[in-house]
Amino acid sequence: AALNGGLRSQVSAALKEGRVAPTELCQRCLALIKSTKFLNAYITVAEETALKQAEESEERYKRGQPLGILDGIPIAVKDNFNTAGIETTCASNMLKGYISPYNATVVQKLLDQGAVLLGKTNLDEFAMGSGSTDGVFGPVRNPWSYSKQYKEKNVPKSYPEDEESNWVITGGSSGGSAAAVSSFTCFAALGSDTGGSTRNPAAHCGVVGLKPTYGLISRHGLIPLVNSMDVPGILTRCVDDAAVLLGSLAGHDPKDSTTTQDGFEPFELPDLTDVSKLSIGIPKEYHAPGLSSEILALWSKAADLFKNAGAKVVEVSLPHTPYSIVCYHVLCTAEVASNMARFDGLEYGHRSDMKDSTESMYAATRREGFNDVVRGRILSGNYFLLKQNYEKYFVKAQKVRRLIANDFVKVFRSGVDILLTPTTLSDAAPYTEFIQEDNRTRSAQDDILTQAANMAGLPAINVPTALSERGLPVGLQFIGRSFQEKQLLTVAKWFEKQVQFPVIQLEEVERHDSDVFQHQKSASFS
Amino acid sequence: LAPWVPVVGLEIHAQISSNSKLFSGSQVQFAAPPNSLVSFFDASLPGTLPVLNRRCVEAAVMTGLALNCSINKKSLFDRKHYFYADLPAGYQITQQRVPIAVNGSLSYSLCIDNKMSQMVTKTVRIKQIQLEQDSGKSLHDDTRSQTLVDLNRAGVGLMEVVMEPDMCCGEEAAAAVRELQLILQTLGSSQAVMAEGQLRVDANVSVHHPGEPYGVRTEVKNINSIRFLAKAIDYEIQRQIEELENGGTILNETRAFDSKLGCTVPMRDKEGKQDYRFMPEPNLPPLILYDAKSLPANMNHQQVINIDWIHERLPDLPSVKRKKLVEQYGILPEHSFTLLNEDGLAEFFESVVKRTQMKPKKVIGWILKDLLSYLKQHSLTVKESPVSSFLLADLLNLLEKKEISSTAAKQVLAELWKGEGKTPLEIVKEQKLELLQDQKELEQICQAVIDGHKNEVIMMVLG
């Protein structure tokens, strides 16, 4: 029963009361990781260190001195966060075998609170992509591909078509983390979010994906994609758990000069009963081309849900939304070109055998170490940064970015508290279909609903809402005001309670925890 | 032949005197074992972020104020991209768009002739001062076809001081740099020792005919001393003039000064113009500085820099010190220059003056002629002088009290240089250099001399 429960209300309580031991929890997760290996969610499983951490946690519980709610809780971390002593690869040949000497601040915070680090999860190479299909360790498979719910709706029409070719993607780039949480191999996972990389896979994998306000959580130790937009993302099975993780991670970090100096107080989410004072905004531009009719209907249904409960629901406009994708591409590729300049094979990482000259060594190293997606973005970015192009592209994009951010400011100033939008255009695509288009095309399509929040630095969250006709998860997104995570999560929690998203029925999970599904209606808490 | 007008501008990099580097906590230290002062950030390990060093900002503000600059209350950081083995991140963090200080000036003095008898004051405009990272060092091992990289210096804070092309020759440039060096050392913002790489000067040189537009300029690098700076610039001016007079053209190139041959040569590795693809540094918010007026009431002192507070605490700059020396001691302006030009000499002089009745105007001669020339001959610094200010003061007192003649004093001084620990009085007694004060005794000696040389006396009386 413990495997399925909310952290604060169930798992932590169970640990404290001794109903389950940290080592047992850890071992169950490790066993489940092994039996769900086909998902390819993990790049590195840190079995030894995890068990050791679990043992230490157990000692603390025995002494009656747990460090907090997260003590003994198994978590997973996306493989673009530095973890001391454990390989950090970014799913790239450039960093295969790279053992970082330091922990990212968020990793350190989790460890300091007794969390058990199970391993590093799979992603698109250097977090570039929206499918978690373009890393050197292969694609991540969406656990829902193997769920009873999906299989029921997708009986293979003819032999030899079978679930091997029917599996769907997780979305990306934090697909491994989303799959890990979705398949119960951990209780929470860290992702990163630059254009939607936490919310997108959260939607496709039926889990909660939180993108915090830029500057609320430290990026020290997160290998950057776009420094001015990246944030560490939180993936959990319920909104309450996201609040717990947020509470343990947020706050000023002297090692990251872009974190807010303002104090942060961790909070527990109230159980909202009265939404009549709430104003929900529905941005019309998010009815984007390609939005599936299914999701459109769900979005509408959700708006009605709020209306019927007494909230004020208004249509609003964020007029610069259509420009955000191109603007994002200019700024993203420019920063990528800059951030990737350090990978030259000299100080760490892959170094080519080419020895003719320093320059040829650099060129060969970078050709061998980076995939096409990364190299493509570097070339584009350098183009935009050329002196003759800088004003036309980079500065222009910065100005458009300001306009996009101002759209949100205006709407929030007009009295709207929270925005409600779809997270993705459709449910998860089958892998074979997804790879028909290239990474750049897919990213442009898939980021469209999530990426403006990164431009504006706002907090946003995906809440799993319902299953599609194909039996796959669909989520909806809430976007809040800067640093108003408490309000955002409170509303998200209310919504979560209303929709009662079903629990995934996975054979592997059931085998491991046979009494898990006895009392199941909602995803988590009591 | 139409006259040529040489134009010289300077780009000076001064290493900031601080305990740790500009954006990371690793130590700043000269000549440490290779790669022993390298933090994760310095090595560009992925995921590391820059954190601005307060002391470096204060050093730049002090320097800007001392050079009469406007301090920008908001300045920005940028990335300057290029690939090189000593630049681990593939970019340098600098201030290209809005530097910390702009529009200042530096006054310096030159002697009209070689005799230090007439000084003229000149001014050079300071375009800007910017904060930026130093690079590491790469040593080329040609025999093994490899390059050895030492990152100890990577990330050390630099102030780049840009001097407008207001100078006309090597001498002016040398004097300007010397004055800047003194200012930096007085402020303590940089130790500015060229030999240790704490002060690096690149010169921009061009020539043109009066009334015509400026000529193509070359950049001269690899200059290791102030003396070589003057030489390199003068050589380059000459080279350009000769080239143009022979019908040639000047390339906009970078040249290195070869100190052995005394000439400038084109530098390898600088093919074509580099596009540095400048981009704002996204990990550093704008640098905001305050003054007394703009300082918010409840700000944490640790988090802010108050320009006025720094201004109030600036030490006396060399120009002020010189003026005070002239006013207080009645010495000539040229003297004050020499006093400040030699590390510790002004303090030595003042120490002597304090301890002697001799007028400062007379003391200065002993300092500048006898003491200084001796030190120069033996390549000693003032600190290394075997003759302390106390000893010299004692000696000058003997002279002032007319207990010895000035010839005798020079003899005693020569003896004191040996550093054998004897006092002037002891040497005087040893060598029997005392002046006779007794009138009668003197008359007796004179009479004895006259009596002993009767023939010479007669010759003298006859004319």
Domain locations in chain A as residue ranges: 2-155+162-276+465-476+484-519
Cα-based distances in Å from A327 to A301, A322, A394, B284: 32, 10, 9, 22
SS (H, E, C) A226-251: CCCCCEEEEEECCHHHHHHHHHHHEC
Could you tell me the CA-to-CA distances from A438 to A129, A131, A168, A433, B163 in Å, in that order?
Answer: 10, 11, 17, 11, 52
The predicted-structure confidence for A228-271, as pLDDT tens digits, reads as follows 999 999 999 999 999 999 999 999 999 999 999 998 999 999 99
Q: Residue A271 contacts by C-beta under 8 Å, 6 or more apart in sequence?
A: A493, A497
Share of chain B above pLDDT 70, in %: 98
For residue B427, pLDDT over 80 is answered with yes
What's chain B's average pLDDT?
92
Interchain CB distance below 8 Å, B279 and A81 = no
With 70 as the cut, is the pLDDT of residue A61 above it? yes
Nearest by CB to A342, from B46, B275, B285: name it.
B46
Q: Looking at residues A89-118, what average pLDDT do you find?
A: 98
The minimum CA-CA distance between B142 and chain A, rounded to whole Å, is 12
- Spatial distance between the Cα atoms of B407 and B385, rounded to a whole number of angstroms: 22
User: What pLDDT does B416 receive?
Assistant: 87
Give tens-digit pLDDT for A183-197: 999 999 999 999 999
Distance CA A201, CA A205 (A): 6
**How sure is the predictor about A522, in pLDDT bands with cuts at 50, 70 and 90?**
very low
- B85: chain A residues, CB-CB within 8 Å: 346, 358
pLDDT at site A159: 58
Q: Which of A318-332, A435-449, B222-236 has the lowest mean pLDDT?
A: A435-449
Which class for A430: exposed (0-12), middle (13-18), buried (19 or more C-beta within 10 A)? Answer: middle
pLDDT for res A54: 98
Q: Which residue has the tokens 């020396």?
A: B325
Structure tokens at B373: 């020339």
Cβ-in-10-Å burial (0-12, 13-18, 19+) of B432 comes to exposed
Distance CA B160, CA B100 (A): 10
Residue by residue, what is the 3-state secondary structure of A105-167? HHHHHHHHCCCEEEEEECCCHHHCCCCCCCCCCCCCECHHHHEHHHHHHCCCCCCCCCHHHHC
Q: How far is CA A106 from CA A100, A103, A231, B184, in A?
A: 15, 8, 11, 42
Cα–Cα distance measured from residue A255 to residue A268, given in angstroms and rounded to the nearest whole number: 27
The pLDDT of residue B446: 86
Is B47 close to A344, i.e. CB distance below 8 A?
Answer: no
Q: How far apart are CA B398 and CA B252, in angstroms?
A: 64
A215 CB-side CA count, 13 A = 19
Residue A290 has pLDDT above 70, yes or no: yes
Residue with tokens 């004020």: A312
Q: What is the pLDDT of residue B433?
A: 81
B51 with A255: Cβ contact below 8 A: yes
Q: State the Cα–Cα distance between residues A385 and A397, nearest whole angstrom.
A: 12
Q: How does residue A441 score in pLDDT terms, banded at 50, 70 and 90?
A: confident
pLDDT at A521: 29
Name the residue with higher pLDDT: B454 or A145.
A145
Integer angstrom CA distances of residue A149 from A166, A299, B168: 14, 22, 84
Predicted confidence (pLDDT) at residue B269 exceeds the cutoff of 60: no
Cα A351 from Cα A335, distance rounded (Å): 23
Q: How far apart are CA B101 and CA A466, in angstroms?
A: 59
Q: Tell me the residue length of chain A.
A: 526
Residue with tokens 């991540």: A140
Residues belonging to chain B with any Cβ–Cβ distance to chain A shorter than 8 Å: 40, 43-52, 79, 81, 83, 85, 88-91, 147, 149, 275, 277-279, 282-285, 303
The count of CB pairs under 8 A between chains A and B is 99
pLDDT > 70? residue B166? yes
Strands (E), B168-252: 199-208, 218-223
Determine contact, residues A259/A109, Cβ cutoff 8 Å. no
Question: Which of the residues A12, A78, A177, A182 is marked catalytic?
Answer: A78
DSSP state of B212: S
Beta carbons within 8 Å of B28's beta carbon, 6+ residues apart: B15, B18, B19, B20, B21, B37, B156, B157
Residue with tokens 């991140």: B89
pLDDT of res. A4: 53
Across residues B235-244, what is the average pLDDT? 96
pLDDT band of A515, cuts 50, 70, 90: very low
Residue B261 half-sphere exposure toward CB, CA atoms < 13 A: 7
| Cβ–Cβ < 8 Å for B328, B350 | no
Check pLDDT > 60 for residue A520.
Answer: no
A257, B52: Cβ pair inside 8 Å? yes
CB atoms within 10 A of CB A20: 17
Residue B338 clears pLDDT 60, i.e. is over it? yes
A173, A124 Cβ separation under 8 angstroms: yes
Q: Test B285 with A102 for CB contact under 8 angstroms.
A: no
Ordered by start, the domain boundaries in chain B are: 5-288, 318-431
Amino acid identity, position B151: L
Residues A274 and A322: their CA atoms lie apart, in Å, by: 35
* A1 contacts A184 by C-beta, under 8 angstroms: no
Number of other residues whose CB lies within 10 A of the CB of residue A236: 27
ipTM for this prediction: 0.94
Give every CB contact of residue B420 below 8 A, 6+ residues apart in sequence.
Answer: none
- For A476, phi then psi, to 5°, come to -120, 155
Q: What are phi and psi of B223, to 5 degrees?
A: -105, 120
Helix residue spans in B139-225 (DSSP H):
170-187
Higher pLDDT, A316 or B111: A316
What is the tens place of the pLDDT at every residue in B361-402? 999 999 999 899 999 999 999 999 999 999 999 999 988 888
A131 in Cβ contact with A424 (< 8 Å):
no
Report the 10 Å Cβ neighbour count for A436. 9
pLDDT of residue B43: 97
Is B50 in Cβ contact with A220 (below 8 Å)? no
> What residues of chain A lie within 8 A of the CB of B279, using their CB?
334-335, 338, 385, 394
* Interface contact flag, B277 A387, Cβ < 8 Å: yes
- pLDDT at position A1 is 37
Q: Return the structure tokens found at A177.
A: 């983390």
Predicted local distance difference test score (pLDDT) of residue A442: 85
Are B163 and B125 contacting, i.e. CB atoms less than 8 angstroms apart?
yes
Residues B238-257: what's their mean pLDDT?
A: 94
Task: Return the SS3 of B359.
Answer: coil
For a pLDDT cut of 70, what percent of chain A falls above it? 94
Give the residue from B279, B281, B303, B304 with the most A CB atoms within 10 Å of its CB, the best one to mutate.
B279
pLDDT-based confidence at A516, cuts 50/70/90?
Answer: very low
Angle of the B226-245 helix axis to the B170-187 helix axis, nearest 10: 150
Model pLDDT, residue A162: 58
- Mean of all residue pLDDT scores within chain A: 93
Residue of B90, B277, B282 with shortest CB distance to A342: B90
User: Residue A517 has what pLDDT?
Assistant: 34
Question: Across the beta sheet with A418-422, what order do the strands follow?
Answer: A42-45, A116-121, A74-78, A188-193, A231-236, A208-211, A460-467, A473-479, A418-422, A279-283, A312-316
Q: What is the pLDDT of residues B13-41, one digit of tens each?
A: 999 999 999 999 999 998 999 999 999 99
Question: Binning pLDDT at 50, 70 and 90, where does residue B448 land?
Answer: confident
Determine the topology of domain A2-155+162-276+465-476+484-519 in CATH: Amidase signature (AS) enzymes (3.90.1300)
Question: H helices then E strands: how many in chain A?
Answer: 20, 11
Residues B49-60 have pLDDT tens digits of 999 999 999 999
Tokens of B5: 């007008």
A100 is a catalytic site residue: no
